[in-house]
């Protein structure tokens, strides 16, 4: 067994019967403080499985855009991914997949795939203005990592320890953070699906206890260059107990590799 936990834990095996059902195991290595598997990990598992089904059908395995709706927290253990191709166009191929554990629907994914090469590029955004990772601090300051297994799988570097970590929420629900898989394993496009949801939500800076993601949409822009990923996470709208959360991932060459938005339900103290 490899110690590349990301590759191991996002693997699923297609059944030879052409049913589109894939078998997999959700591990306990990506748990949040609620001791449930992280939503970005669930997206990565589902997207990688759906990519294999779409590409087996003659389509591309390169995700362009994915939307996941979360129904119920998963539990570590066996699961089935029920995948199907909805439409195989020339430039874009779209599939959907439902993650099941027993009779329970865990999450539903729709994703479009296609090979993007060439084409016009004009970047009007800018990457986070973070100090060099070596000049940054770990997210958790002197308190040590919190009791969640995903913190063992990820490396984080920030200009300063976030206010909420030290019990002093800043009032500004934004975060800029270097992020990578622990030990520096290079990210692929499926790791981007994890990384957009792998840092604690910035609504902690508003003093809220957390946020449960209902829906997450990600735009993908290919394989990141090796190295740290600069992530910018922002909440701007908290309305009637629900909040948005935007995330951008920029690779070490300053190129945007993913952009995401969540619709989430606020957890109040």
Region for 226 from its dihedrals, namely left if φ exceeds 0, alpha if ψ lies in -120 to 50, beta otherwise? beta
Residue 168 sits in the site that holds its own copies (CB under 8 A): no
Fill in the per-residue mask, 104 to 123: x = in contact with its own copies (CB under 8 A), - = not in contact. -x--x-x-x---xxxxxxxx
Residue 69 sits in the site that holds its own copies (CB under 8 A): yes
Q: Give the rounded distance of the alpha carbon of 198 from its chain centre.
A: 6
- Cβ-contact 190, 217 below 8 angstroms: no
Fill in the per-residue mask, 179 to 208: x = in contact with its own copies (CB under 8 A), - = not in contact. ---------------------------x-x
H or E element that contains 54: helix 39-56
The minimum distance between CB 137 and its own copies, in angstroms, equals: 26
Residue 265 sits in the site that holds its own copies (CB under 8 A): yes
Give every strand in the sheet of 93-101, ordered side by side. Answer: 12-14, 21-26, 77-88, 93-101, 104-113, 63-70, 210-220, 256-267, 242-250, 229-234, 174-181, 154-157
Residue 157 sits in the site that holds its own copies (CB under 8 A): no
The minimum distance between CB 17 and its own copies, in angstroms, equals: 24
- Cβ-contact 98, 105 below 8 angstroms: yes
What residues line the site for its own copies (CB under 8 A)?
64-65, 67, 69, 71, 86-87, 89, 91-92, 94, 96, 98, 105, 108, 110, 112, 116-125, 173, 206, 208, 214-215, 217, 219, 221-222, 235-242, 244, 256, 259, 261, 263, 265-266, 268
């Amino acid at each position: 067994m490899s110690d590349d936990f990301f590759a191991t834990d996002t693997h699923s095996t297609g059944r030879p019967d052409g049913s589109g059902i894939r078998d997999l195991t959700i591990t306990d290595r990506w748990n949040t403080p609620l001791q449930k598997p992280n939503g970005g990990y669930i997206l990565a598992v589902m997207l990688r499985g759906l990519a294999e089904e779409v590409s087996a059908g003659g389509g591309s395995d390169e995700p362009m855009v994915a939307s996941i709706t979360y129904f119920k927290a998963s539990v570590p253990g066996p699961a089935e991914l029920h995948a199907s191709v909805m439409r195989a166009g020339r430039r874009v191929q779209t599939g959907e997949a439902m993650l099941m554990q027993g009779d329970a629907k865990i999450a539903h994914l729709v994703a479009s795939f296609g090979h993007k090469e060439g084409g016009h590029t004009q970047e009007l955004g800018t990457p986070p203005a973070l100090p060099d990772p070596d000049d940054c601090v770990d997210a958790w300051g002197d308190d040590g990592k919190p009791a969640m297994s995903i913190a063992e799988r990820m490396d984080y570097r920030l200009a300063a320890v976030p206010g909420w970590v030290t019990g002093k929420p800043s009032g500004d629900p934004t975060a800029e953070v270097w992020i990578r898989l622990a030990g520096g394993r290079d990210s692929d496009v499926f790791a981007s699906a994890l990384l957009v949801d792998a840092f604690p939500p910035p609504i902690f800076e508003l003093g809220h206890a957390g946020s449960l993601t209902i829906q997450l949409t990600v735009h993908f822009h290919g394989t990141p260059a090796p190295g740290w990923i600069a992530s910018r996470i922002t909440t701007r709208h908290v309305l009637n107990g629900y909040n948005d959360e935007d995330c951008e991932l920029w690779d070490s060459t300053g190129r945007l590799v993913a952009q995401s938005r969540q619709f989430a339900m606020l957890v109040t103290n």
